Amino acid sequence: MQISVRDYGSGIAPQVKERLFQRFIQGQGHRGRSGLGLYLCRQIIEAHGGNIGVESSLGEGSAF
């Protein structure tokens, strides 16, 4: 099974995409948050034998 969530926002810069699923990493403009959300998603999904990734282009949005 594959589940995808897409938005059509500003997208994610390539240098940020490489680190996005690491602990305490935040996207631009997200002050005051812990930066754990995508890290925890990755941990849970991988614990169940799955994987998570992102496709994104600046100005075109992202798909997780």
pLDDT above 90 for 54: yes
pLDDT tens column, 4-53 = 999 999 998 888 888 888 887 665 555 556 668 889 999 999 999 999 99
pLDDT value at residue 58: 92
pLDDT value at residue 19: 87
Domains of the chain listed by start with CATH number: 6-63 (3.30.565.10)
pLDDT value at residue 36: 82
Tell me which residue of 6, 48, 4, 42 sits closest to 21, measured CA to CA: 42
Q: Which residues contact 14 (CB under 8 A, 6 or more apart)?
A: none
pLDDT tens column, 31-41 = 556 668 889 99
